[in-house]
Structure 1
Amino acid sequence: MTQTRPQQSTGQWTDVPEPTTVGDHVVERLARWGVRRYYGYPGDGIGGVMAGISRARRAGAAQLVQVRHEETAAFAAVADVKYGGSPIGACVVTSGPGAIHALNGLYDATLDRVPVVALVGQSATPALGTSFYQEIDAKALYEDVADYVIQLSSPDQVIHAVDRACRTALAHRTVCAIIVPSDLGSADAALSTPNAHGYSHTSSVPSTDPGAPPQAALREAAAVLNAGERVAILAGVGAAGATQELTAVADALGAGAAKALLGKHVLDDRLPWVTGAIGLLGTRASYELMQHCDTLLVVGSTMPYGEYYPPPGQARSVQIDLDGAKCGLRTPTEVNLVGDAAETLAALLPLLRRNPEETWRQRIATWKDDDDAVREARCAAAADPVNPEAVVRGLQPHLPENALLAVDCGTATAWYARDVDLTPQQFGSLSGLLLSMGGALPYALAAKTAHPHRPVIALVGDGAMQMNGVNELITVAREWQTWEDPRLAILVLNNRDLSFETWEVRAELGEVPDPASQSLPDVPYAQWAQLLGLAGTRVEHPEDVDAAWAAALAADQPFVIDAVVDPATPIIPPHVSTEQALQTVKSGVRSAMHGDEEVPGLVRQGLRQVVAPVLSAVRHRPRG
């Protein structure tokens, strides 16, 4: 079966040393669940657990990646699982501020349904309730982000707490938190669970995954799909590992397929019936696919933008998901199949009636060809000094066959969604539903840690790079010589502006962007990399883009491309509302009245690009 995410790293681990402290026991029990890699930052509140990790690391039984900030630790723990490195991610953070810092990355796990266990420090038990330094109510703090939270008060809780946290994290694909007071973590302990009242015995064996749904439900779903003449598929990250089965089902139905952003790797972008990303940052072809289909099959996706699904009442729908609570969440469905995507699709395939009609796929291929032409025109558009979309598109001819991509939130996300074509042998990820800035460098670190033999590319805006990227380059400088393949290419789209937010101000509010909130300092990112002993170059001319990518992916060390790009390059949704267009025009007029220096760039890049799709839709609207 074709793999659509990196295979889980097996690692050559030794046995965890004989535990003597509570911290040792936590590490030893986590190892039984396959947790061997930790991302974290030390502090006295979590010192006992850190000591246990250190002893296991020296014995070759664990790995610790010390990052520069606890938010990075949590993001990297999430990404480690997304990139197939660990079955359960693990971050380790100290009490008080450490626990607070980690929350953003942990919400990334909760919203994207990724199993993570957070080991959280706490003040010593005698100090609890005394307003001691760094004392916070960590249990209350974590109860929203985590499905299971426990604050240990006795060594005898360790086995049950770790087992339940891991089992829950895997079963619900979510965050679980174990809070360890500092005195308890370092306490000597020989754990026992006597067969007595008040003690609970437990197992470190994971539960089996759900297989295929019952035959009756499969037949019901097949009847809906077989009745369709214009079938569309929406594939998300839940379809990972099911590329072969999904392709076979699509071919049987003569279907076209759009992909949610986290599922971009699931189907080969080069196929004529694969329309690429869907949603606000998606392609026009994906939008047309949904607007004209009469049947929809959703596989492993809860893509949130309702306006990019088929209009209500237009299409009959079937959904496949591991979690029945996610079925029918975004669009009305007739049949909901709860099960593993690959097994469910394989069981569904023999029940499908072969659809030899090629007219539908021909229409899809035409939409895709039109999209490709528009994409090339956008990338060729003049800019001052460099077109950011062209820089990202310039990666394509240099993209290694086994590349892993880490993408930040912002304009980089838009260009990645539209301009990077992936095959199932490649893999890209980002902070999906949380859409947090600052995730790309932690994700890239986790990808390289989990797969040190594979090249990694990070696509980052300057806003995100200034949040934590410049600091995590220090971690890169510390770690990279342990990687089998040293290639980590980091593209910084340096436009001195929070440009995604700036476009939202123009298009949604119709306001003039305020430089006090939107502008950013121009940081010499490549020089900073060089100062840390890494490599880098600054790109200020379009003709230098290709050479920069070639150098970055041929380098024998991590490489930063500081691309000075035009902030006036518009991000145009595949379906632009009249209100958005008018508000953008209004912003341009106001900007001109107030001497906004960006107005010439806006005119050059084309407010008309925003208005034209609306005018075209009006001109071609059916009459009567």
Structure 2
Amino acid sequence: MARTASDILVDVLVDWGVDTVFGIPGDGINGIMEALRTRKDEIRFVQVRHEEAAAFAACGYAKFTGRLGVCLATSGPGGLHLLNGLYDAKLDHQPVLAITGLQFHDLVGTYTQQDVELDKVFQDVALYNQRIMGAAHVHNITTLACRTALAHRGVAHITIPVDLQDQPAGDDLRAPRNVKGHNTSLFAPELPVPSEEQVKRAVGILDAGQRIVILAGQGALKATDQLERLADRLGAVIVKALLGKAAVPDDSPFTTGQVGLLGTAPSQEALETCDTLLIAGSTFPYIEYYPKPGQARAIQIDIDAARIGLRYPVEAGLVGDCRVALDILLERAAPHPDRSFLETAQAGKAGWLRLMEERGTRPDLPMKPQVVAWELGKRLTDTAIVACDSGTIATWWARQIPARRGQMHSLSGNLATMAPGLPYAIAAQLAHPDRQVVAYVGDGGFSMLMADFATAVKYGLPIKVVINNNRSLGQIKWEQMVFLGNPEYGCDLHPIDFARVAEACGGKGFTITDPKDCGAALDAALAHPGPVVVDCIVDGNEPPMPPKVQAKQALHLTEALARGTPDALKIAATVFRNRAREII
């Protein structure tokens, strides 16, 4: 049979090293599905239960491999369902290619069924976004889509009418100027090296600094050794953005952990008292947690020149890969013998860790959410991959689950969307079949895409899904009270027996209600050879307290309780008991 446009599309994907495509079949992509079927020994199609899960999985695949993630959806609603996961990839700078179908090429724009011009819909989310016009167009467009997504670490989208997917490929279809072979498939870009002028500026700033903080983000995930060596040389403190959680292990003597609303008190204190800030691969978005402008002299390392100075005024901008730039600074920066700033931070960290242990070992009923995170963190292997979700769950993940050297951790960073934890875990287990993979999620996020637990069962993926089930949209609940002083409203969730859901899907389910049973139940779940859901029923009145409570936040919480928040007395009692314990 003659080769088709879809065959060429799959050829290009294989040439670019794509081995996995996440999606759902549909009549708008029948030609592509047939091409995937005939090449199934080279490229696997992973069927999910919702296109949003396909896009999240493609983003997770990119995060946990550094390679191109690919998702596929049919015309109309199928393509529209991809958008949330694609925005997750866009905002976290992950290389993802979305492929969608269109209606028959001569019916587009005629109000036919599912007549959605997806290339127009995707104009904002995709940095490369094209409609394929025929078989002779496929190679050029697909090649550019793959190259652009990888080169610029973002989303590319191509869409192709369903009838053109089966169009026979032949040289006679080519335009005269479309010379065969003119578009090279592969590329191997060299990492940019910062300019000598900016390096000299950066070294001068570091040499003059006395209280240096390094803010590490996801751009520094592969620069662990360089970060620690530079911190040692400078007597610096490393603080971490959420996406940079695994950049430095939490047992490193140089880090005080996360920053921001979900961060640690010693990290915040280091930022508040530093005189020099080195931002390594991060554009951490919460500007209010940076040093006040003018307090610290700043240097920023980023692969994208447009992001230099985005969050904080900098005097030196090193455009390049973090590992390369940090190696250069290590060679040139003078050693700092004064360790007093680092030692102060280390003392603060020791006190913070004692507090986290106290919170993570409480015997209270209902079970505290910190207990689940604490017990899980102790049981993760050195090469575990942890996919977190958005909500209060992210607070417990950030504080109670330590990142160890060799582990990978991620969540939806800048979009902070609910629901990616499960699809991320599925992608991680497919990419790394020999590693322990855990999705650490809330009941709100998990229930949005929980049908995809059946995907893990179908493909024999031994992921472990640990659910902090507080039976509410917890983050929204606390934001309503603490940010605005409004009573909680609309956040209660009807209970779901997630262990029974897991069993109904063909997996294994556990339920934990008592902290004294938590460790043993997690041991059993982690030892089970197949996919597991662990439904942990936790206290919905346990607040995710910021590292430092502001007077305005305390006032708003008091107002919310006084104005009729459900369980106001229980919440007040919980907050009072927690604070009393910490003071004692």
TM score, norm. by length of structure 2 = 0.96
Alignment partner, residue 149 of structure 1: 129
Alignment partner, residue 450 of structure 1: 431
Q: Which amino acid aligns with 1:234?
A: L
Match of 2:407 among 426, 448, 454: 426
Residue pairs, 1:185-200, within 5 angstroms: 185-190=165-170, 196-197=176-177
The alignment partner of 1:110 has SS state of: helix
Alignment partner, residue 49 of structure 2: 68
Alignment partner, residue 605 of structure 1: 574
Alignment partner, residue 259 of structure 1: 240
Give per-residue Cα distances to partners, 1:440-459, cap 9 Å, x unaligned. Answer: 00000000010111111111
What is the Cα deviation at residue 532 of structure 1? 2.3
Q: Which amino acid aligns with 1:150?
A: Q
Q: Which amino acid aligns with 1:335?
A: A
In the alignment, the residues of structure 2 paired with residue 184 and residue 310 of structure 1 have an alpha-carbon distance, to the nearest angstrom, of 55
Alignment partner, residue 181 of structure 1: 161
Q: Which amino acid aligns with 1:601?
A: K
Alignment partner, residue 6 of structure 2: 23
Alpha-carbon distance change, 477 to 194 in structure 1, aligned in 2, over 3 angstroms: closer
What is the Cα deviation at residue 605 of structure 1? 1.3
In the alignment, the residues of structure 1 paired with residue 9 and residue 154 of structure 2 have an alpha-carbon distance, to the nearest angstrom, of 19
Q: Which amino acid aligns with 2:574?
A: Q
Alpha-carbon distance change, 533 to 154 in structure 1, aligned in 2, over 3 angstroms: closer
Match of 2:39 among 47, 56, 71: 56
Alignment partner, residue 576 of structure 1: 549
Alignment partner, residue 172 of structure 1: 152
Residue pairs, 1:295-306, within 5 angstroms: 295-306=276-287
Residues 33, 206 of structure 1: 8 Å contact kept = no
Alignment partner, residue 105 of structure 1: 85
Alignment partner, residue 96 of structure 2: 116
Residue pairs, 1:353-392, within 5 angstroms: 353-381=334-362, 383-392=364-373
The alignment partner of 1:52 has SS state of: helix
Residues 360, 373 of structure 2: 8 Å contact kept = no
Give per-residue Cα distances to partners, 1:471-490, cap 9 Å, x unaligned. Answer: 0111111011xx5xx3x221
Alpha-carbon distance change, 289 to 182 in structure 1, aligned in 2, over 3 angstroms: same
What is the Cα deviation at residue 278 of structure 1? 0.8
Structure 2: stretches of 5+ with no match in the other structure: none
The alignment partner of 1:591 has SS state of: coil
Match of 1:523 among 486, 489, 496: 496
Match of 1:287 among 244, 268, 283: 268
The alignment partner of 1:606 has SS state of: helix
Residues 155, 184 of structure 1: 8 Å contact kept = yes
Residues 231, 254 of structure 2: 8 Å contact kept = no
In the alignment, the residues of structure 1 paired with residue 188 and residue 145 of structure 2 have an alpha-carbon distance, to the nearest angstrom, of 13
Residues 382, 405 of structure 2: 8 Å contact kept = no
What is the Cα deviation at residue 377 of structure 1? 2.7
What is the Cα deviation at residue 191 of structure 1? 5.0
Match of 2:70 among 83, 90, 93: 90
Q: Which amino acid aligns with 2:517?
A: D
In the alignment, the residues of structure 2 paired with residue 334 and residue 23 of structure 1 have an alpha-carbon distance, to the nearest angstrom, of 50
In the alignment, the residues of structure 2 paired with residue 67 and residue 559 of structure 1 have an alpha-carbon distance, to the nearest angstrom, of 18
Residues 211, 344 of structure 1: 8 Å contact kept = no
In the alignment, the residues of structure 2 paired with residue 407 and residue 565 of structure 1 have an alpha-carbon distance, to the nearest angstrom, of 17
Alpha-carbon distance change, 356 to 444 in structure 1, aligned in 2, over 3 angstroms: same
Alignment partner, residue 27 of structure 2: 44
Residues 235, 299 of structure 1: 8 Å contact kept = yes
What is the Cα deviation at residue 197 of structure 1? 3.1
Residues 267, 274 of structure 1: 8 Å contact kept = yes
In the alignment, the residues of structure 2 paired with residue 22 and residue 186 of structure 1 have an alpha-carbon distance, to the nearest angstrom, of 6
In the alignment, the residues of structure 1 paired with residue 513 and residue 254 of structure 2 have an alpha-carbon distance, to the nearest angstrom, of 37
Alpha-carbon distance change, 609 to 311 in structure 1, aligned in 2, over 3 angstroms: farther
What is the Cα deviation at residue 611 of structure 1? 11
Residue pairs, 1:205-354, within 5 angstroms: 205-354=186-335
Give per-residue Cα distances to partners, 1:423-478, cap 9 Å, x unaligned. Answer: 23000111110111010000000000101111111111111111112x01111110
What is the Cα deviation at residue 207 of structure 1? 4.4
In the alignment, the residues of structure 2 paired with residue 473 and residue 192 of structure 1 have an alpha-carbon distance, to the nearest angstrom, of 47
Match of 2:487 among 500, 512, 535: 512
Residues 228, 254 of structure 2: 8 Å contact kept = no
In the alignment, the residues of structure 2 paired with residue 136 and residue 610 of structure 1 have an alpha-carbon distance, to the nearest angstrom, of 54
Structure 1: stretches of 5+ with no match in the other structure: 1-17, 616-624
Please state if 1:490 is matched with 2:470: no
Residues 33, 166 of structure 1: 8 Å contact kept = yes
Between Structure 1 and Structure 2, how many residues are aligned?
582
In the alignment, the residues of structure 1 paired with residue 530 and residue 44 of structure 2 have an alpha-carbon distance, to the nearest angstrom, of 22
Give per-residue Cα distances to partners, 1:66-125, cap 9 Å, x unaligned. Answer: 0000000000001101001x6211001000000100000000111000111111111011
What is the Cα deviation at residue 198 of structure 1? 5.6
Give per-residue Cα distances to partners, 1:370-417, cap 9 Å, x unaligned. Answer: 211221232344644110111111112211111000101111111000
Alpha-carbon distance change, 246 to 426 in structure 1, aligned in 2, over 3 angstroms: same
Residues 383, 569 of structure 1: 8 Å contact kept = no
Residues 201, 315 of structure 2: 8 Å contact kept = no
The alignment partner of 2:106 has SS state of: helix
In the alignment, the residues of structure 1 paired with residue 51 and residue 368 of structure 2 have an alpha-carbon distance, to the nearest angstrom, of 34
Alignment partner, residue 515 of structure 2: 542
Give per-residue Cα distances to partners, 1:13-66, cap 9 Å, x unaligned. Answer: xxxxx9811111001012111112100001011111111111110xx1101110
What is the Cα deviation at residue 347 of structure 1? 1.6
Residues 376, 522 of structure 2: 8 Å contact kept = yes
In the alignment, the residues of structure 2 paired with residue 520 and residue 399 of structure 1 have an alpha-carbon distance, to the nearest angstrom, of 29
What is the Cα deviation at residue 559 of structure 1? 1.5
Please state if 1:591 is matched with 2:564: yes
What is the Cα deviation at residue 576 of structure 1? 2.6
The alignment partner of 1:444 has SS state of: helix
Q: Which amino acid aligns with 1:266?
A: A
Alignment partner, residue 35 of structure 1: 18
In the alignment, the residues of structure 1 paired with residue 556 and residue 171 of structure 2 have an alpha-carbon distance, to the nearest angstrom, of 65
The alignment partner of 2:25 has SS state of: coil
Alignment partner, residue 420 of structure 2: 439
Q: Which amino acid aligns with 2:32?
A: V
Residues 383, 566 of structure 1: 8 Å contact kept = no
Residues 272, 368 of structure 1: 8 Å contact kept = no
Q: Which amino acid aligns with 1:584?
A: L
Match of 2:474 among 484, 492, 499: 499
What is the Cα deviation at residue 561 of structure 1? 0.9
Alpha-carbon distance change, 437 to 328 in structure 1, aligned in 2, over 3 angstroms: same
Alignment partner, residue 131 of structure 1: 111
In the alignment, the residues of structure 2 paired with residue 121 and residue 55 of structure 1 have an alpha-carbon distance, to the nearest angstrom, of 19
What is the Cα deviation at residue 193 of structure 1? 8.6
Give per-residue Cα distances to partners, 1:297-349, cap 9 Å, x unaligned. Answer: 00000001111111111100000010011111001100000011111111221
Alignment partner, residue 472 of structure 1: 452
In the alignment, the residues of structure 2 paired with residue 28 and residue 44 of structure 1 have an alpha-carbon distance, to the nearest angstrom, of 21
In the alignment, the residues of structure 2 paired with residue 357 and residue 555 of structure 1 have an alpha-carbon distance, to the nearest angstrom, of 50
Residues 136, 174 of structure 2: 8 Å contact kept = no
The alignment partner of 1:176 has SS state of: strand
